Amino acid sequence: MCRNRQHNFEQSRAEQSRAEQSRAEQSRALIKLLQYVFGYTVVSLQDIVKKSCSGGTPKKGVSEYYEGGNIPWLRTQEVVFRDICKTECFITESAVKNSAAKWIPENCVIVAISGATAGRCAINKIPLTTNQHCLNLEVDPEMALYRYVYYCICAKQEELLAKKEGARGDLNSTRILSLQIDLPSIEEQKRIVSILDRFDTICNDLTSGLPAEIEARQKQYEYYRDKLLTFEERG
């Protein structure tokens, strides 16, 4: 009897997995069709994210979780609208095994979800782990460029911050994944990312000039970024 139940359970899980895969394939096909007809389509982040997860904080005071650690561990104060090539803190393999901290692959879009940092985002250029106040989005490369998604989230800061709740002003994964963006073809995404990368480099390299001049250039960048990320239907 137990074997039959186990078999039925595994069969049910397999059928559910096949159904989910079929729905995902249908969704991808519909998105590509709408892109072909209208030049772009509106999607929620959940439509183009393969996997999302948060991390965890290994128990403080346990030396074996931190001393001699070489695993990059990201905290939300390091999520500041830039590429992340290194972290300030490191943890051990034991910490990963005994906490909710988990490895995420490079080129995820990381969104801070807690307190004063909520809404900030970044891209990790190295595999790393994060604390529980980061939502890590692994973008489906068949549907979107991770860097395009990053720029879209940057441009939607006001909308994202409006989703904060509670006394601490936290975000949750459901609210973030429901954020809608305009999604053109991959080729058009590449063109837009190329332009915005150049703009971003110029803005980040500004080290001289009056504060008012720097602020004006930043606003100019944000204006053109928002224009590039807004589409009109083909008429």
What the block records as the tokens of 9 is 């359970």
Q: Find out whether 136 and 108 touch, Cβ atoms under 8 Å.
A: yes
What pLDDT, on a 0 to 100 scale, did the predictor assign at position 16? Answer: 63
- CATH code, residues 33-228: 3.90.220.20
pLDDT, one tens digit per residue, over 47-95 is 999 999 999 999 999 999 999 999 999 999 999 999 999 999 999 999 9
Q: Find out whether 87 and 63 touch, Cβ atoms under 8 Å.
A: no
pLDDT, one tens digit per residue, over 118-130 is 999 999 999 999 9
Q: Where along the chain do its domains lie?
A: 33-228
pLDDT, one tens digit per residue, over 165-188 is 887 788 999 999 999 999 999 999
Q: Find out whether 27 and 47 touch, Cβ atoms under 8 Å.
A: yes
CA–CA distance from 16 to each of 4, 9, 22, 29, 106 (Å)?
18, 11, 10, 20, 29
d(CA 134, CA 121): 9
pLDDT, one tens digit per residue, over 9-26 is 566 666 665 655 666 666
What pLDDT, on a 0 to 100 scale, did the predictor assign at position 211? Answer: 72
Tell me how many helices (H) and strands (E) the chain has. Answer: 8, 10
Question: Residue 139 pLDDT more than 80?
Answer: yes
CA 107 to chain centre: 9
CA–CA distance from 37 to each of 21, 32, 57, 86, 148 (Å)?
25, 9, 46, 42, 21
Give the residue with greater pLDDT, 235 vs 191. Answer: 191
